[in-house]
Amino acid sequence: MKREVNGVTVECLRGDITAQADVDAVVNAANAELRTGGGVAGAIHRAAGPGLEEEARPLAPISPGEAVITGAHGLSNRHVIHALGPVYGRDHPEGELLADCYRNSLALADENGLDSVAFPAISTGVFGYPVEEAADVAIRTVIEESENLQSVRLVRFVLFGESDLGAHERILRGSA
């Protein structure tokens, strides 16, 4: 489903973050060291090839809530934005740190003149953030930031599972 907010299309779909060839940047649910990991990070690094880690490593370490931008190497996008989500129950305040991931990633996309950016559900895998809570933070933050964006016109949430998609759609539908 899609909604337009302040001239920005916000959409949720089920899919693989490495198969979003029509967006300028994909966001990586990164680790602090910006190394290949599991989940989203593993999939992005595998698809991008070793050049991604070579470019990203000198930018590490990053802290929870922080984001950095690199080229996309073997991926069919222009950039990868690497954001470190909070570990649920460990990094506090987790809602604020998760919102920072979305804010900082959108700011980087906008500063780089990008039109479109795709996010996975940051922190909801290995980092243990309950998906309904994370979806609420993610969608609320994107909607809040939409009025500040100059260049970004499409924000896509790419959800791996049907129930994750459902959680995001419910919140997007219900948001003002």
Q: Does 158 bind ligand AR6 (CB under 6 A)?
A: yes
For ligand AR6, the closer CB: 18 or 116: 18
Q: Is 100 in the site for ligand AR6 (CB under 6 A)?
A: no
Summary count for the chain: helices (H), strands (E) = 5, 7
Among 31, 77, 105, 116, binds ligand AR6 (CB under 6 A): 31
Residue placing its CB nearer to ligand AR6 in the complex, 8 or 157: 157
Give the residue among 21, 34, 113 at the shortest CA–CA distance from 74.
21
Q: Which of 100, 72, 73, 85 is nearest to 32 (CA)?
A: 85
16 interacts with ligand AR6 by CB under 6 A: yes
Q: How far is the CB of 113 from ligand AR6 (least distance, A)?
A: 25
61 is an interface residue for ligand AR6 by CB under 6 A: no
Using CB under 6 A, count the residues that bind ligand AR6.
23
Token pair 């916000």 is at which residue? 10
DSSP assignment letter at 59: G
Locate all alpha helices (DSSP H) within 25-130, ordered by sequence: 39-48, 50-56, 94-111
Is 145 or 157 the residue whose CB approaches ligand AR6 more closely?
157
Candidate ranges 32-40, 53-61, 62-70, 141-149; the one touching ligand AR6 (CB under 6 A):
32-40
Nearer to ligand AR6, 122 or 143 (CB): 122
- The H or E element containing residue 29 is strand 25-29
Q: Which two tokens stand for residue 114?
A: 């990008």
**Cis (ω within 30 of 0) for the bond into 93?**
yes
Which residues here bind ligand AR6, judged by CB under 6 A? Answer: 16-18, 29, 31, 37-41, 43, 85, 120-127, 158, 160, 164
